[in-house]
Structure 1
Amino acid sequence: MTDTTTHTAAPAEFTVRPVLHYTANSTWLNDPNGLLFYQGIYHLFYQNNPFDNVWGNMSWGHATSEDLLHWTEHPVAISCDEQEDVFSGSIVVDDGNTTGFGTAENPALVAIYTSAFKEGSGLKGTQAQSLAFSTDAGMTWQKYAGNPVLSRGSAHFRDPKVFRYQGPEGSFWVLVAVEAQHQQVVLYRSADLKEWQYLSTFGPANATGGEWECPDLFPLPVDGNPDHVKWVLVVNINPGAVAGGSGGQYFVGHFNGVQFIADSDSLVEDGNANLSKCLWLDWGRDYYAAVSFSNVPDNRRIMIGWMNNWDYANSLPTSPWRSSMSLAREVELATIHGLPRVVQRPVLPAGLPHTVTIEDREIHDSTVALPDADPASVQLIDARILPGTARTITLKLLAAPAGDVATILSFDTATNQLTLDRRNSGEVAFHKKFASAEAAPVLLEDGLLKLRVVVDNGSVEVFAQGGKVVLTDLVFPAPGNLCTELRVEGGTATVRKLTASAVS
């Protein structure tokens, strides 16, 4: 997207790079795009300014990984030029060589991206969809001479996600994009990725207080049942998300090859006035532009989001990079209170050694010290707690050795609210909108509060109740603020099990 807000320059003070969250070496990044698994490698393309660490000169950066945790940065894949900026999009494997860009033996990878045409172009001021292709497994790219392949004469038609559909209507490519300022998702079909036929429009619906961006549409079995499949439509919005500024909402429904039809229980009357009733991928401030990988084996659905918010994105106090991606999240549909809803789990190594384990321990109005965070690794805390008579259960994260400076994760048993509070987390003054506390409704399961908390340098991601509720926030603690505590207030709680692990 184009950043049109006014930003105040801030000194670059945070120089400890995240361990597992991807950052470009010394430049700016935003929306993930072109996510693809191919020949054993995960490809992460993303919006990148190759020349600076603020938004501008939009091109596609590129990184690869074998495990979704450790990434290798490559040269810019698809670059802006005097005619266009290269905005978000997606990549498909053209196995049938429908484009003619490859061969049956060596199919091309085809990127479908948004051309944001500049003043020097005859299409200046408009956005349209274009193609680029690679015949060397995604390492180099060539723009198609016939670009653009799909235009509506619109200034805000962007972010195509393309997939292969096979169903009652036949077999063809489907393109899902947005008319951003009309809060609409528009769908097209094609036989060859070059000629497109309009199918349908979805929206406006639910949260419509900002531009719709970066849509995604995919099927998922409910509770793992292949005979009960629903479709999920993800629509990111900025501003107007539940925690303020940028965020990702979703709808559950049916796609018949022509239309996406949302289930009635996915729709909220006057969603802007009832944001907490809309369906959100994340209740925090810093998970946006989330899209899923194409071509992942075993029909797994894995998503990555941009870990930032347009309210303050250009002002983050990091150096020399600015901005990072979330951890990859495996996405499923599960029945929650009788309805199919998205569940997300972070992709992390299995079999991690635990530095501490607490089991079946009662805690009454007191604090338990946990291992400090370590800048050389990610801190992973898994907890199953029976709140009992306690009023609040609190994890104090990235805390100063003395005083109240910390990121606070707390559960209020009276309101069933889980709150991630970064107002006194460290450096917060670089932008007036950064200091914040985000809350989400969390219902106990068998009386238990279940938390998986991932703390990396510069961020906290919280997966509650097995990933049914997620909160993601950036944080910038001072060096040495690494203390971690569990506190029970207002009564007695029982820690059924708590483990702390280091991941690197």
Structure 2
Amino acid sequence: MAYSLDGGYTWTKHTNNPVLSRGSAEFRDPKVFHYDGAAGSYWVMVAVEATDFQVVLYKSENLKDWELLSSFGPANATGGVWECPDLFPLPVDGDPENIKWVLVVNLNPGGPNGGSAGQYFVGDFDGTTFTTFTTVTEGTQDPARLAEYQWLDWGRDYYAAVSFSDAPDNRRLMIAWMNNWQYANEIPTAPWRSPMSLAREISLHAIDGTLRLAQHLALDLAAVSGRGPVFELEEASITSETLVLDGADGSVQHIELTFTPGTAEEFGLLVRSDGTQGTRIGIRPADGRIFVDRRDSGLADFHESFASIDSAPLQPIDGSYQLSVYVDHCSVEIFAQGGLVTLTELIFPLATSTDVALYATEGTATVCGLNLTRWA
């Protein structure tokens, strides 16, 4: 433990450290929050025994003396060590009378598209034990069941996600490390290596009998300075040719659009493109999948696992697909169907690859509306 007497500018380590030891080198990544509930009022620590795939919960009145409460796991994805746990309450569909708890467990490797990822469980916490409603598989991970688990993000680059306690207006805000341990030490950037994700506000919703997280950008984009022109497209039919959007080019953008499927096997958009190649964000309705193809996204040969096609399950809502895409100099963050499905990916395009294009293959699709805001 360490404490600060000047608002966090300097810190002093507690003289009697460690305040808690299990005699294990894999007991780590504590997240501490203050619990107030039927069981009392005290501090709760959520930590992991990383190689045992176990979350361990402790309580304390003074942050110095800790008592074991319970443990959770192994469950669901156990293809890599468990790391960076988090436990927090959320109202279901905004109802303050219906509070459930979310347990986040990051793991590496073992993600749905390879490498690092974060899974979550929804349930109840009575001040002692977390009990999940989520269907779980215990013991050794079954690779064939990865798509059944609940993932914070289906992309390759959203890891070690952690939320903030006591945010204004009771918002639950989360941020993650935008990288993957498969290639983290090899990405072609200097003098820095890997960014953080955009901060997200997360919420809990009942969808077809299942409690699922939704994620939205926490920032008010209208308040961000430096915005350039806005490009708008009311409706367009896409055929089997790539349609470059004149006047929509840029390297830092927010793109909102809605697709209605037609006869095309696949449709979507290209970002950070030169008109033909780029980062491809596609939907295949018959497969019920959305994917990010970064094989031609720019510099992609620095590691054998980077040039990937990463996908997630996606179903239409009222017959359409709504996407909100944040494009930055070296990243793409995709929020689909109101943030129920997200994919976060690093990319390393050429500085001259700034086009945005729409495409369809083997048929047609319709863009019912597109709005693009550019910062650079």
Relative to the length of structure 1, the TM-score reads: 0.71
1:418 has 2:290 as partner: yes
CA contact (8 A) 1:268 1:278 kept: no
1:374 has 2:250 as partner: yes
CA contact (8 A) 1:384 1:448 kept: yes
Greater displacement, 349-358 / 421-430: 349-358
Distance between the aligned counterparts of 2:238 and 2:183, measured in 1? 39
1:385 has 2:259 as partner: yes
TM superposition shift of 1:353: 7.1
TM superposition shift of 1:209: 1.1
Aligned pairs for 1:122-271 within 5 A: 131-263=1-133, 265-268=134-137, 271=141
CA contact (8 A) 2:46 2:85 kept: yes
Please list the CA deviations of residues 54-111 of structure 1 after superposition, one character each: whole Å capped at 9, or x if unmatched. xxxxxxxxxxxxxxxxxxxxxxxxxxxxxxxxxxxxxxxxxxxxxxxxxxxxxxxxxx
1:342 has 2:213 as partner: yes
Structure 1 counterpart of 2:114, one-letter code? G
CA contact (8 A) 1:271 1:278 kept: no
Distance between the aligned counterparts of 1:330 and 1:424, measured in 2? 31
Distance between the aligned counterparts of 2:375 and 2:9, measured in 1? 29
- The count of aligned residue pairs is 369
Structure 1 match to 2:344: 472
TM superposition shift of 1:254: 0.5
TM superposition shift of 1:422: 0.6
1:492 has 2:364 as partner: yes
SS class of match (2:51): helix
Distance between the aligned counterparts of 2:346 and 2:241, measured in 1? 28
CA contact (8 A) 1:175 1:187 kept: yes
CA contact (8 A) 1:354 1:499 kept: no
TM superposition shift of 1:354: 5.7
1:454 has 2:330 as partner: no
TM superposition shift of 1:184: 0.1
Please list the CA deviations of residues 371-410 of structure 1 after superposition, one character each: whole Å capped at 9, or x if unmatched. 45434xx211101111122221121111125xx4311111
1:300 has 2:174 as partner: no
Aligned pairs for 1:22-33 within 5 A: none
> In structure 2, do the counterparts of structure 1 residues 141 and 463 end up closer, same or farther at CA, with 3 Å as the change threshold?
same
Distance between the aligned counterparts of 1:363 and 1:321, measured in 2? 40
Structure 1 counterpart of 2:152, one-letter code? L
TM superposition shift of 1:463: 0.6
CA contact (8 A) 1:399 1:406 kept: yes
Structure 2 match to 1:405: 277
Structure 2 counterpart of 1:310, one-letter code? W
SS class of match (1:267): coil
Please list the CA deviations of residues 97-144 of structure 1 after superposition, one character each: whole Å capped at 9, or x if unmatched. xxxxxxxxxxxxxxxxxxxxxxxxxxxxxxxxxx11122222222211
Give the alignment partner of residue 311 of structure 1, picking from 182, 187, 200. 182
Structure 1 counterpart of 2:79, one-letter code? G
What root-mean-square deviation, in Å, do the aligned CA atoms of Structure 1 and Structure 2 show? 1.6
> In structure 2, do the counterparts of structure 1 residues 349 and 502 end up closer, same or farther at CA, with 3 Å as the change threshold?
farther
CA contact (8 A) 2:262 2:366 kept: yes
For structure 1, list consecutive stretches of 5 or more residues without a partner in the other structure.
1-130
Distance between the aligned counterparts of 1:287 and 1:390, measured in 2? 30
Give the alignment partner of residue 236 of structure 2, picking from 337, 361, 366. 361
Structure 1 match to 2:268: 394
> In structure 2, do the counterparts of structure 1 residues 406 and 251 end up closer, same or farther at CA, with 3 Å as the change threshold?
same
TM superposition shift of 1:271: 4.4
CA contact (8 A) 1:176 1:188 kept: yes
SS class of match (2:18): coil
SS class of match (2:185): helix
TM superposition shift of 1:164: 0.6
Structure 1 counterpart of 2:231, one-letter code? V
> In structure 2, do the counterparts of structure 1 residues 374 and 362 end up closer, same or farther at CA, with 3 Å as the change threshold?
closer
SS class of match (2:338): helix
1:430 has 2:302 as partner: yes
For structure 2, list consecutive stretches of 5 or more residues without a partner in the other structure.
none
TM superposition shift of 1:484: 1.1
Distance between the aligned counterparts of 2:57 and 2:178, measured in 1? 27
TM superposition shift of 1:444: 0.2
TM superposition shift of 1:181: 0.4
Structure 2 counterpart of 1:267, one-letter code? V
Distance between the aligned counterparts of 1:495 and 1:210, measured in 2? 40
Structure 1 counterpart of 2:216, one-letter code? R
Distance between the aligned counterparts of 2:253 and 2:57, measured in 1? 42
SS class of match (1:150): coil
CA contact (8 A) 2:250 2:355 kept: no
Relative to the length of structure 2, the TM-score reads: 0.94
TM superposition shift of 1:213: 0.2
CA contact (8 A) 1:266 1:279 kept: no
Please list the CA deviations of residues 303-325 of structure 1 after superposition, one character each: whole Å capped at 9, or x if unmatched. 00000011111111101111110
SS class of match (1:181): helix
TM superposition shift of 1:368: 2.7
Distance between the aligned counterparts of 2:240 and 2:206, measured in 1? 36
